[in-house]
Amino acid sequence: MKIKSVTARWLHVPIPYEKQHVSDFGRVASFDSVLVRIETECGLIGWGEAKEEVGSEGNSHGLVAIINQKFGPGLVGEDPRDINRLWELMYNGCRGHYALAHGHVFPIMGRRGVSIAALSGIDMALWDLLGKHLDAPVWRLLGGRKAERMAAYASGGWADAEHIGEQLLGYVARGGFKAVKMRVGVIDGDPVNSARRVIAARQALGPDIGLACDAHGTYTVAEAKRFCRLVEDCNLLWFEEPVTADDKRGVAEVRAATAIPIAAGESEFNRFDFRDLAELRAADVFQPDLAICGGISEAMRIGAIAAAWNIKLAPHLWTGALAFAAGMHVAAASPAGWLLEYSVGANPLLQELAEEQFSVQDGLVDIPDRPGLGITIRQDFVERYAIA
């Protein structure tokens, strides 16, 4: 089996004004992602997703160029079933061939940033392709799923103190979610304001719904500690990215100062970043983003680190349908797999790109039995929104 083509396209999907919400970085006017399509000479097609930004929106020209002009041409003619070998070639760059032949590596190219996002989308498409070729869902290729359905939490919570309870209860009513996540930090100023919103949220939800808070790395260490003290009676499920991801020691310092579990990882890139988080005792929950962290292959390794360090795996799924499915397959198969993120803001790439829906009932999402990632891409949607 040989790869005939690898193509990436940037989908830019505008969100109608009345459906837009004000997120961490302002009003979300579009959802952007890069779709990777790998076709074999025999006509099999695999799909993957890569992201240039951790949030909803983002110019993706750079990512498209890396896939179409750098990785893609290098993969033509290769056997797409050799996922481990192709992963190493992309990660280790042009010296990868030499490195593999000589038994050691020169990690110079695909390690972090946009390069590993490109690698992630390609890796995902390779797994999808392999699943279709073998007529098996990806979770089966990973050793089988632990259950037929997985718990998800509703991810949203941008409202002010007066409306946050109502907003979060709305999510619970809609999908039967047993856990919800709200944003704190950049959207509401200092820790005192954040705490006011969190306390209001807890009061409205009652004691039985899990409540997580996401600061998106916006606090200083001192602010994060202060926030933890102010909400220590709120029984938080976790406090996410308290300080910038570049200050892992800072995250560890926050964790050491509180009993609230700390979540991190959506801004990290590969197993080494997660190893550092584990060794520093910085996190209780790992949140790799499958469209950023090195794809399904690397997320399984990150899951193994989580399992060895008594850390839970709750992938960051602020993504389109492909990366959502990829995260679900990994979480379903990984020993540390725990909880899925389900974005409740308007997200056409999650809700409209695929023919299938990820419906939530009683807070649970069905893990598909269909081959590969289990996603049928709507070609009309791609043609309508592809801008590169």
Binding site for ligand D8T (CB under 6 A): 23-25, 54-56, 155, 214, 216, 266, 316, 318, 341
Count the residues of the shown chain that bind Mg ion, applying the rule CB under 5 A: 2
Binding string to Mg ion for residues 243 to 272, with x set by CB under 5 A, is what?
Answer: -----------------------x------
Using CB atoms within 10 A of its CB, is residue 220 exposed (0-12), middle (13-18) or buried (19+)?
Answer: middle
Residue whose entry in the numeric block shows the structure tokens 């009676």: 233
Tell me, yes or no, if 316 is annotated catalytic. Answer: yes
Residue nearest Mg ion (C-beta atom): 214
Q: Decide if 109 contacts 94 (C-beta within 8 A).
A: yes
Question: CB of residue 180 vs ligand D8T: minimum separation in angstroms?
Answer: 12
Q: Pick from 214, 253, 273, 341 the residue near Mg ion by CB under 5 A.
A: 214
Q: Decide if 54 contacts 266 (C-beta within 8 A).
A: yes
Question: CB of residue 267 vs ligand D8T: minimum separation in angstroms?
Answer: 8
Would you say 268 or 341 has its CB closer to ligand D8T? 341
Using CB atoms within 10 A of its CB, is residue 104 exposed (0-12), middle (13-18) or buried (19+)?
Answer: exposed
Q: Which helix (H) or strand (E) holds 61?
A: helix 61-65
The partner in contact with residue 55, picked from Mg ion, ligand D8T, none with C-beta cut-offs of 5 to 8 angstroms by kind, is ligand D8T
Question: CB of residue 181 vs ligand D8T: minimum separation in angstroms?
Answer: 7
Would you say 21 or 378 has its CB closer to Mg ion? 21
The partner in contact with residue 170, picked from ligand D8T, Mg ion, none with C-beta cut-offs of 5 to 8 angstroms by kind, is none
Pairing of strands 3-14, 30-40: antiparallel
Question: CB of residue 317 vs ligand D8T: minimum separation in angstroms?
Answer: 8
Count, residues in the chain: 388
Would you say 28 or 252 has its CB closer to ligand D8T? 28
- Contacts within 8 Å (CB) and 24+ apart, 274-280: 274/302, 274/305, 274/306, 275/305, 276/248, 277/248, 277/251, 278/305, 278/306, 278/308, 278/309, 278/311, 280/248, 280/249, 280/251, 280/252
Would you say 126 or 317 has its CB closer to ligand D8T? 317
The partner in contact with residue 329, picked from Mg ion, ligand D8T, none with C-beta cut-offs of 5 to 8 angstroms by kind, is none
Of 137, 136, 130, the closest CA to residue 1 belongs to 130
Query: How far is 282 from 274, CA to CA, in rounded Å?
Result: 10
Q: Which helix (H) or strand (E) holds 90?
A: helix 83-92
The partner in contact with residue 284, picked from ligand D8T, Mg ion, none with C-beta cut-offs of 5 to 8 angstroms by kind, is none
**Catalytic hit among 61, 97, 316, 329:** 316
Tell me, yes or no, if 216 is annotated catalytic. Answer: yes
**Catalytic hit among 21, 133, 216, 329:** 216
Q: Which helix (H) or strand (E) holds 39?
A: strand 30-40
Residue whose entry in the numeric block shows the structure tokens 């892992």: 248
Would you say 92 or 319 has its CB closer to ligand D8T? 319
The partner in contact with residue 24, picked from ligand D8T, Mg ion, none with C-beta cut-offs of 5 to 8 angstroms by kind, is ligand D8T
Question: CB of residue 214 vs ligand D8T: minimum separation in angstroms?
Answer: 5
Would you say 37 or 51 has its CB closer to ligand D8T? 51
Positions annotated as catalytic residues are: 216, 316
Task: Give me the residues that bind Mg ion (CB under 5 A), please.
Answer: 214, 266
